[in-house]
Structure 1
């Protein structure tokens, strides 16, 4: 009986090469329990960088991890997780009870890890998890001030700990960035009028600087980078009514002095490229290189080939001696090989864009159940759901079912759409409409509920006779529940 654990390394900075000795004991873990192993290039999580740890029959494990940089990682088991602070040349012992999530640490990294775990930096604060957002004039009294009290209490714990000054500096920096990032996300998802949230962000972020607050940059600092770029953009666009001031602001943030030039770059290379242009001007060279390398990895992992290649060219141009180039070159070569492979199960019909009615289009699949997924390459939740599709299709293999995809993207994004479905091997029949043309499809599918039009992703099922059926359509992430629902109509 073996239990697979996973170690996820999410950030780091360069130090001398050494090893990190990790050992411990796990109890009360279900047989076959998996904790996702991941060692990303710089920060973040990617499935293809997993590293499993295997326990023996008694739940003991021991592994020596080669490290050339200090990292913050975490163990995941089931729906639980714990950060790990890993430093080359040190050791850590973990005692974990899988039934209640209790975890204890030993070894010379014990105190740092115990405090890191108590701070729960991997969790979103309670104010963010409440789906009901407060009004802008209530932010200070109901959100910011109460959370600052909690933050102060955590900082007091850090200051009272026996950790070294640099370790305390890192934890306090991550706590600060955690606060900034989640307030920023809260405001941007509050559905306030654009001017209200933009003005709030400008005022809230005014005192922030791009310089990291500690020598070790953690995952919250890298999340802060995107928040800071958003602040710079909001501040620049607040000058839009003054052409001269607006041009200077755009030049300062992005290096271009006209809105048309900015939009041209956005259409050609994507928002991530614009963000990198801003990062390059605001942050130090080391941070910029790390940020760019991670964005390239992210785009390749996501199947956004053209954007990834453009960013890769930027890394080659601005960081010719980057230590990330070899790894990224290998990743790109593998992706290009996959792109060049013809997949006959990816079908883009001749009328993929010109078809008029979805119900008429579906009639050609008489005798088969059709699962319709309305999505967009720009839609994060849509793409996240697609990660669950391979297992769904495996369960439905050999059965009379068609997976039909209707993408909503601008016509100039046609190549990007094709790249995405090819790079991610999304088998099935693919259609695309722009935002104007897809409105007729929404009306056709939901004539009596306009409030649900334009919600991405949305799913529909057509039975073997081409009739639209079922109200509560399951998502791919619903797994077996979706399989069961589809089988009801076979």
Structure 2
């Protein structure tokens, strides 16, 4: 007998608090039941800030023993979200004051029932496969994906052009529906840009292409369109498209700059970015690559889209707790959009990071080794802690996976609180990033022992820790040292592995 999950999304129009002086939040009530539930389970809902997946935006909705669940979600406007159950994802449309009931078959994880005042919109999204991985993505990763085999010209004819055509067919299906004109335009915009987003991911992340071929693919995908929305506020697929479009602008700028002689190339303003190449490099080092991306957005996109993208950039840096790179972006928000609806929430997040920075500068649990510049071997540090187990984290402030692992570290440290375990962090950042590194440690409350090495200087540490050259330079990488100071090399787990890592550390105590 097929297990069915009945999900009913009920929106009560309960105005609870102010988002800005002109916007109010209404409670979007998500409730339902998993029939014939065999074990504890959860449903997840990703409600993006503008686009993308950030842990803080994913709501975990627990099912009770009978399979019932309920969750209140405040909304101020129409939002697209991703409903997640096990490995399946569905795009759903949410509106304040509307109702939706969906039935999910838990055997084949398909949707079969749509009821409520926003049922028609969501049934259409399901029919046009919104949010679903297309076959050319689901077929595998780089090197083992059958759709990515062949020359670029062959793949273009076999995959890319047919997918672009299929995307337009889906858009036509949306436009032919009985929905109101505003919703059709919004959904069509999401479907068209979603097609481009999947193809961009395929070209950059799965195909084996050189830079010249990638630029050609960019031209095919983006050469005849611009990041100008048909409907505002736009949905997450449009804003993801606007982000991907930055890559196209970079490719066009490179082509232009390559046509200049060397004397002019370093001083001529780079198209879209309107700063010289040398200045762009300097800004990336001092304010971050995202700030340089922002210059292209500011100079190219219309004001509402640019404002929204800037808010997303700031929010992303706040999510990473990177105060150094969030500040200059926030300065742009204050100067260019002083009345922005995004400003109050972002300013509060910045203030929280600044408070953490001040507080943790006097945190005795955070120890930056004095004179770390002169240390030439990790064992100069590890040997100071013989009799204790050492967990070494080799990371960098620039490394996304490294930053993501940090959210699991408090639970790891709580697991070994009061026990003979020492946490050492070996950061790889060049000297120009020293202040950034120090502030990042404080803002993220990274208790433990810290030292930093440049890309050139860290190589000697890799040589002594990892004899296999093919495994060197992977960030993050972790090592355990036993109480005698001996390094344990084989398959040391990450903080996100939780119990598996806890067991590894515990066996050496």
Aligned to 2:122: 113
2:366 aligns with one of 334, 346, 370:
346
SS in structure 2 of the partner of residue 238 of structure 1: helix
Distance 1:49 1:340, change over 3 A: farther
Q: Are 2:98 and 1:90 equivalent residues in the alignment? A: yes
Listed as ranges, the matches of 1:261-410 within 5 Å are 261-342=279-360, 343-410=363-430
Distance 1:143 1:479, change over 3 A: farther
Distance 1:482 1:66, change over 3 A: closer
CA distance in 1, matches of 2:62, 2:394: 40
The Cα of 1:32 is off from its aligned counterpart by: 5.3
The Cα of 1:416 is off from its aligned counterpart by: 1.3
Distance 1:463 1:191, change over 3 A: farther
SS in structure 1 of the partner of residue 97 of structure 2: coil
For the 8 Å contact 1:26–1:95, the answer to whether it is kept is: no
2:461 aligns with one of 441, 444, 469:
441
Alpha-carbon deviations, 1:249-286, whole Å to 9, x = none? Answer: 84541122x21122122111111111111111211111
CA distance in 2, matches of 1:159, 1:238: 37
The Cα of 1:78 is off from its aligned counterpart by: 4.8
Aligned to 1:73: 81
The number of residue pairs the alignment matches comes to 479
For the 8 Å contact 1:53–1:61, the answer to whether it is kept is: yes
Greater shift, 366-375 or 140-149, is seen at: 140-149
The Cα of 1:45 is off from its aligned counterpart by: 4.2
Q: Are 2:494 and 1:475 equivalent residues in the alignment? A: yes
Aligned to 2:32: 25
Listed as ranges, the matches of 1:214-225 within 5 Å are 214-225=231-242
Greater shift, 15-24 or 357-366, is seen at: 15-24
With structure 1 as the length reference, what TM-score do the two structures score?
A: 0.87
Aligned to 1:450: 469
Q: Are 2:196 and 1:188 equivalent residues in the alignment? A: no
CA distance in 1, matches of 2:302, 2:231: 14
The Cα of 1:209 is off from its aligned counterpart by: 0.9
For the 8 Å contact 1:376–1:409, the answer to whether it is kept is: yes
2:154 aligns with one of 115, 138, 148:
138
With structure 2 as the length reference, what TM-score do the two structures score?
A: 0.84
**Unmatched segments (≥5 aa) in structure 2:** 1-6, 10-20
Distance 1:150 1:30, change over 3 A: farther
Greater shift, 386-395 or 58-67, is seen at: 58-67
**Unmatched segments (≥5 aa) in structure 1:** 8-13
SS in structure 1 of the partner of residue 375 of structure 2: coil
Aligned to 2:3: none
1:242 aligns with one of 249, 259, 262:
259
CA distance in 2, matches of 1:214, 1:289: 15
Distance 1:76 1:353, change over 3 A: farther
Alpha-carbon deviations, 1:96-133, whole Å to 9, x = none? Answer: 56665444331110121123234444344343343225
The Cα of 1:60 is off from its aligned counterpart by: 4.8
For the 8 Å contact 2:253–2:270, the answer to whether it is kept is: no
SS in structure 1 of the partner of residue 77 of structure 2: strand
